[in-house]
Chain A
Amino acid sequence: MSYPVLGGGFFLAGRAAAETKRRLREAGLAAELVRRVVVATYEAEMNICIHAVSGRIHLRVENDRVKVVATDRGAGIADIAQALRPGFSTASEKARQLGFGAGMGFANMQRCADSFRITSEVGCGTTVTMEFWPRPQTEETGP
């Protein structure tokens, strides 16, 4: 299934993440796994809202593995290594005042996901692909 995400404003953000959470709960996945997927999906959705024209979040659940693909039409990212660096952000001053765009989004996604890939084309858009699977309960699971 997939959910549309509108760009151009953060006040609409969170719907795809909420819908994702509902679906994963229905699928009976472990709370720890659901939490990581929801946090990462929220960050991906927020990025689309802040930076892109529009996008989609695709969600696929196979047994206890989850795949989230967040793809957008927008400016794209010229220097991905720089964008992934914690603290780096191109968000507006307004967005930052509201607590968004702290340069923590990709770090959160990478910490939550068990596999993380990003591709981008300047002038076209960006695609983030994340996969999640259950982690052993004894392991310190990050966020």
Chain B
Amino acid sequence: MLTGPQGLPRTITGACASDLLSYVMARAKPGYLWLTIQVHPNVVGVAELLELAAVVITDGQNPEPATLEKAREHGVTILTTPDPTYAVAGKLYGLGVR
């Protein structure tokens, strides 16, 4: 976990895996996890507008410094993982996040 003053909520309402911002705007709902390889600051803007539980940056990608700064400023949680999006999605699905 790179940022996240509030940590993760106890309940994750769902998840969305996409690198297209408009797709996420259309599909993700409050409390969702968002799996993406995008690392720029607009990711934080989208997560905040949609009230997502956290952004999971996959595949060993590192968020840009400006992204982390904006996330801290706006209280958005960012997680990173070396696993690719497909693997993370599979694990989450197996854990019951539908």
* Cα distance, A46 to B20, chains bound together (Å): 13
B61 to chain A, nearest CB (A): 13
Q: Judge if B14 is at the interface, Cβ distance under 8 Å.
A: no
Chain B, interface SS category:
helix
Whether the Cβ atoms of B38 and A99 lie closer than 8 Å is: yes
Q: Judge if B86 is at the interface, Cβ distance under 8 Å.
A: no
A30 to chain B, nearest CB (A): 13
Whether the Cβ atoms of A99 and B49 lie closer than 8 Å is: no
Whether the Cβ atoms of A99 and B21 lie closer than 8 Å is: yes
* Cα distance, A98 to B61, chains bound together (Å): 13
Residues of B bordering A, CB below 8 Å: 19-23, 25-27, 30, 36, 38, 40-42, 45-46, 48-50
11 new A-B contacts, CB < 8 A, other than A17-B45, A98-B42, A108-B25, are: A14-B42, A18-B49, A35-B30, A39-B49, A42-B45, A42-B46, A99-B42, A100-B22, A100-B42, A104-B20, A143-B25
Chain A contact-residue range equals: 20 to 34
A39 (CB) vs chain B CBs: closest residue: B25
B43 (CB) vs chain A CBs: closest residue: A99
